[in-house]
Chain A
């Protein structure tokens, strides 16, 4: 074949056959016509063979590796995976009028353009897994800055609930819901705006003066939600005094609640991490945290929490000291960069979600160099299996996707339990990728995001 694509060489092979249909038989050309835009990709799901390939997925979430860690004599019992979510359907929440993610695995990476709904999907999982706890609702709204303006500093702060609803409006009767399929009966939760019955009426205190409320955010679902109704102010605000912190500390799950943590791009506060550290100190998991930190700094020997806490306004990255090889004095972990804090956050909060929990990580690659990301996935997957945690993460990073592909390539058993889900704005379903499709896309530099 000549090097000149425009020359006569073009007729020697390929193109010549197209033009002349010579004795060598025709060149097969499918789905493409120059000049005009040819045959487009049909709306998914594709019919026929390709459709079946696209949507073929493992039926049973118990992969070989998962089965392997269940002793043979216990296989008939309820496996610890009964609460792992297989799919989630979101209706009326934020940008989703209707949306579904299916074929979920133990580790799921959400990709998509800005404002496509990745974080909203994570929030939906968070609200569902935490059974609509007022804290989770508050956190979701507060983190996005969806607050009601109030000039009186004595008033309790309020978050604007209307932004949770599709279209940013929440008249009486508006609702949003989440339904998830798993091994056990479907887990579902519906939030709606409605009047509060007399027996449910509470008072929101504003500047020390009780204000009667008429409307509330009603929550129904299976298993039963943490509260039935959250009273709303006249302006549609959820007041911080409805959180009732004295009755239930923020991070303590109630019975039948999936232990859930949502790691935002700001990671977690040191108070948060030190509290959770108490649960893993002197356990085998402590060494896993050390190994995680050594991904970024091999000279780390161990870390330890500080008994005395600095005020939160002094440092959000305090609370832990790091002992390095050949360095006599321990150094604050805050000295070691954002990536170290990110890894510490992920590895510690994974432990908090153990036993049927869900860990949600927004922009998982934040602060991390691409060279450590494959090891990061190993760490996350290993801990997720060990602790029976389902992980959902989002990213914009191609490096992050490629590192997941590399992880899948290196560990074919684990790969069966990994999915990538692309969320496209306005689409009713995410586009799930199997591990094989993740690998191929990465190897051939096919854009998945």
Chain B
């Protein structure tokens, strides 16, 4: 499945978070090795600020292919601050 046509997509802050999610999933469910077979396409968002920049999440939600969309943000500094924007 092409990444852009995967109906399940999520966005994380960076490459580390992709590895974390994949590691977590591998520990609990069958997770394909090949990236194009992953049941969800994981976008790297270049940090929380970029993910929460005005219009970014909306654009993902407007996508013609996305049916399910997840957002994962690191809450290491101020847990509430990114969501207050």
Contacts and interface: CB of A to CB of B under 8 A. Distances in A.
A10 B22 contact: yes
Nearest to A1: B16
Contact of A447 (B29, B40, B65, B69): B65
B17 A437 contact: no
A433 B60 CA distance: 12
Contacts of B29: 34-35
A79 interface: no
A446 B70 contact: no
Given A28-B75, A31-B71, A37-B8, A14 B59 contact: no
Interface in B1-31: 4-5, 8, 10, 12, 15-29, 31
Interface string B66-85: 11111111111001001100
Contacts of B25: 34
Contacts of B68: 31-32, 37-41
A14 B21 contact: yes
B68 to A, nearest CB: 5
A38 to B, nearest CB: 5
Contacts of A447: 4-5, 63-65
Contacts of B64: 422, 424, 447-449
A151 interface: no
A207 interface: no
Interface string B40-70: 1001000000000011111111111111111
Interface residues of B, number: 49
B29 to A, nearest CB: 6
A292 to B, nearest CB: 31
A449 B66 CA distance: 12
B19 A9 contact: yes
B63 A50 contact: no
Given A25-B79, A28-B72, A34-B25, A14 B58 contact: no
Contact of B67 (A9, A35, A40): A40
A431 B16 contact: no
Most chain A CB atoms below 10 A, which of B8, B22, B23, B70:
B23
A445 interface: yes
B10 A32 contact: yes
A30 interface: yes
Most chain B CB atoms below 10 A, which of A29, A39, A424:
A29
Contact of A7 (B21, B23, B62, B83): B23
A6 interface: yes
A34 B8 CA distance: 10
A10 B23 CA distance: 5
Interface residue range, chain A: 35 or more
A25 B76 contact: yes
A50 B57 contact: yes
Contact of A5 (B5, B12, B19): B19
A212 interface: no
Given A28-B72, A444-B43, A431 B62 contact: yes
B58 A53 contact: yes
Contacts of A169: none
A436 B73 contact: no
A394 to B, nearest CB: 15
Given A5-B26, A6-B22, A441-B63, A30 B55 contact: no
A19 B65 CA distance: 30
Contacts of B62: 54, 422, 431, 433, 437, 441, 446, 448
A2 B17 CA distance: 11
Given A6-B23, A9-B19, A28 B79 contact: yes
B20 A15 contact: yes
B37 to A, nearest CB: 14
Contacts of A53: 54-55, 58
A6 B70 contact: no
Contacts of A3: 19
Contacts of A10: 19-20, 22-24, 26-27
A11 B61 CA distance: 29
Contacts of B82: 28
B23 A446 contact: no
A6 B66 CA distance: 26
Given A32-B68, A436-B55, 8 more contacts: A5-B19, A10-B26, A26-B75, A28-B79, A54-B58, A437-B55, A440-B55, A448-B62
10 contacts: A13-B17, A14-B21, A14-B74, A28-B83, A40-B67, A434-B55, A446-B4, A447-B4, A447-B5, A448-B64
Identify the 10 closest CB pairs spanning chains A and B, nearest first.
A32-B70, A10-B23, A14-B20, A5-B22, A15-B24, A1-B16, A15-B20, A5-B19, A440-B59, A6-B26
